Amino acid sequence: MKTRIKNILQEKPVGQLVSLGGWVRTKRDTGSFSFVEINDGSCLANLQIIADEKLGNYVSDIKQVSTGSSVMVEGTLQVSPAKGQDVEVHASCFRVIGKADPETYPLQKKRHSFEFLRELSHLRPRTNALGAVSRVRSRLSYAVHQFFQDRGFAQIHTPIMTTSDCEGAGEMFQVTTGQEKTKAEHFFGRPAGLTVSGQLQAEVYALALGDVYTFGPTFRAENSNTSRHLSEFWMVEPEMAFCDLQGNMELGTEIIKYLLQDALTHCPEDMQLFDKFIEKGLLQKLENIVQKDFVHIAYTEAVERLQNAPKKFDYPVKWGLDLQSEHERYLSEDVFQCPIIVTDYPASIKPFYMRVNDDRKTVAAMDILVPGIGEIIGGSQREERYDVLEARMIEAGINLADYTWYLDLRRYGSVPHSGFGLGFERLVQLVTGMANIREVIAFPRTPGSAPC
Ligand code: ATP
Ligand code: MN
């Protein structure tokens, strides 16, 4: 039975036979034996294997083995006399499974830049940093489900191909077969695209099951080449019936704190690596976010703060204009030095489904902005009043006939309800300290780039 390095290092069954497979990270030969460090991806740490020349294939195979080769090893776990590790394996059988030509294998021992590694999305998970990101991402994904399931939320699988373009949140990728003979012919009877958000469909289920969430891939065909935008990303979208903006803000605060704490608790070794090599002080920063209250500030006050800032911005600041990432980061990094929740944005810059406030100029929106990233959550209380919603849709130029189902939710048993979208990659960026979003998704898709 194969054992994984993570389990071996946790349980340390000294004196017992272990059997494992992995990829060679380094090898050192000394006289009559070799030290081979292997990694199997189960954890950050390598395990040292000692292969003695008495092994039958020592000269023919083991001495030739180089970085990147895959091997299978059987041997006894022993306490290691060397510094830097507690245990090592004394191999009784050491098989080289797949060689990696040292002349061409691109991942040599030195540290490579993330830009270089992006060209190698098929090999980069074998590096320490990208391996750690992958494990932490997986853990966070599990924690998202745990968070909601523990609180009685039902997961809804909302469609990926859709005929409703939710808000014009971003430009949609079109879905066609390529075989349509005329422009009017559509596979689904009308134009369809890849979803930009599962929200509208989640609302349907919130008004039946109460508390629901979706967690799936989302697509935006916008041409933004930034360190925080992808063309395909994952979004966590809770939707709650009988819930106002206050309850929505509470859930957003709670889930961020919960997910950060989960990674700190369950991925200590990988988190140490990020703290040491990716963002100095990361652990302290995350612990502060978990401990401290988030600052609440209305959009109007945020604009005043920005206008009086002793800092020059590239983009203009004026009531009625959207906040840019530089503004968001200034507020959360420089002014408050913690996550902030900006509420009550002008109705004119927010989508039709957000609930109109009594002042009729602003809507019950809330964005959560975090240091280093800017917007991580965008949400709102939804407009539950039929007449107000209908008027907003007409104003936005929406074809009401396509949204009778959405309006029906307000016609039959409408309730105040709220929800938000949490960008999963931006969360993984926050947790790992990775500066570029392309490093926190396995196969990034951005304008001009989707290598594998
Ligand atoms: P931004 O202003 O940063 O472009 P947005 O306001 O267009 O974001 P929303 O439509 O509110 O984003 O989406 C909800 C959340 O999804 C955002 O708060 C963010 O965390 C994430 N998100 C949005 N667009 C992208 C993208 N292109 N790549 C990765 N994450 C994204
Ligand atoms: Mn937003």
Q: Which residue has the tokens 């092994």?
A: 55
Q: Which of 104, 87, 32, 18 is nearest to 62 (CA)?
A: 32
Q: Which amino acid belongs to residue 419?
A: G
Q: Is the pLDDT of residue 167 over 80?
A: no
Sheet holding 174-175, edge to edge: 161-162, 192-194, 174-175
Find all residues with CB under 8 Å of 384, minimum gap 6, and list them.
Answer: 355, 410, 414, 415, 416, 417
- H or E segment to which residue 432 belongs: helix 424-432
Residues within a 6 A CB radius of ligand 1: 169, 220, 229-230, 233, 235, 375-378, 421, 423, 425-426
The atom of ligand 1 lying closest to the CA of 377 is 18
In this structure, the residue with its CA closest to atom 18 of ligand 1 is 377
Q: Compute, in angstroms, the gap from residue 393 CA to the centroid of ligand 1.
A: 22
C-alpha 367 – ligand 2 centre gap (Å): 7
pLDDT of residue 183: 80
Label the pairing between strands 17-30 and 70-79. Answer: antiparallel
Res. 169: pLDDT tops 60: no
Closest ligand 1 atom, residue 375 Cα: 18
Domain boundaries, the chain: 5-98, 124-440
Angle, helix 282-291 to helix 424-432, in steps of 10 degrees: 120
The pTM of the full predicted model, rounded to 2 decimals, is 0.96
| Nearest ligand, CA 196 | 1
State residue 124 phi and psi, 5-degree precision.
-65, -25
pLDDT over threshold 90, residue 451 = no
Instruction: Give the pLDDT of residue 83.
Output: 83
pLDDT in tens, 171-224: 899 999 999 888 889 999 988 999 999 999 999 999 999 999 999 999 999 998
Q: Reduced to 3 states, what is the DSSP secondary structure of residue 221?
A: coil
Q: Is the pLDDT of residue 302 over 90?
A: yes
Phi, psi of 34 (to 5 degrees): -125, 145
Cα separation, 280 vs 272, whole angstroms: 10
- What share of the chain has pLDDT > 70, as a percent? 99
CA of 180 to the centre of ligand 2 (A): 34
Q: How many angstroms does the Cα of residue 368 sit away from the middle of ligand 2?
A: 9
How far is Cα 109 from Cα 105, in angstroms, rounded to an integer? 11
pLDDT at 1: 75
Per-residue pLDDT averaged across 360-365, rounded?
98
Q: HSE-up of 224 (CA within 13 Å, CB side)?
A: 15
Any idea how long the chain is? 452
pLDDT at 21 over 60: yes
Which pLDDT value is given to residue 219?
A: 96
Neighbours of 106 (CB within 10 A): 13
Q: Shortest CA distance to 340 belongs to which of 371, 378, 318? A: 371
The answer to whether 230 touches 425, Cβ cutoff 8 Å, is yes
Q: What is the pLDDT of residue 31?
A: 87
Q: Which atom of ligand 1 is nearest to the CA of 224?
A: 27
Residue 170: pLDDT band with limits 50, 70, 90:
low
The pLDDT, as a whole number, for residue 168 is 59
285 φ/ψ sector (left φ>0, alpha ψ -120 to 50, else beta)? alpha
Report whether CATH 2.40.110.20 matches the domain 5-98: no
Q: Where are the alpha helices (DSSP H) in 178-267?
A: 199-209, 245-266
**What is the band of 28 on the pLDDT scale with cuts at 50, 70, 90?**
very high
For the stretch 391-423, pLDDT in tens is: 999 999 998 998 999 999 999 999 999 999 999
**Start-end of H helices in 308-423:** 325-329, 386-395, 404-411
The whole-angstrom separation of Cα 254 and Cα 252 is: 5
Contact 393, 352 (CB under 8 A): yes
Q: What confidence score (pLDDT) does residue 447 get?
A: 96
340, 332 contact by CB (below 8 A): yes
pLDDT band at 11 (very low <50, low <70, confident <90, very high): very high
Q: Which of residues 452 and 365 earns the better pLDDT score? A: 365
* Mutation to probe ligand 1, out of 222, 375, 382 (largest number of atoms < 8 A from CB): 375
Do 305 and 328 form a contact (C-beta atoms < 8 A)?
no
Based on its alpha-carbon atoms, the radius of gyration of the chain, rounded to whole angstroms, reads 26
* Mean of all residue pLDDT scores within the chain: 95
Spatial neighbors of 391 by CB under 8 A, at least 6 apart, are none
Q: What is the pLDDT of residues 231-275, one digit of tens each?
A: 999 999 999 999 999 999 999 999 999 999 999 999 999 999 999
Asked if the model's pLDDT at residue 58 lies above 80, the reply is: yes
What CATH topology corresponds to 124-440? BirA Bifunctional Protein; domain 2 (3.30.930)
What's the start-to-end Cα distance of the chain, in Å? 33
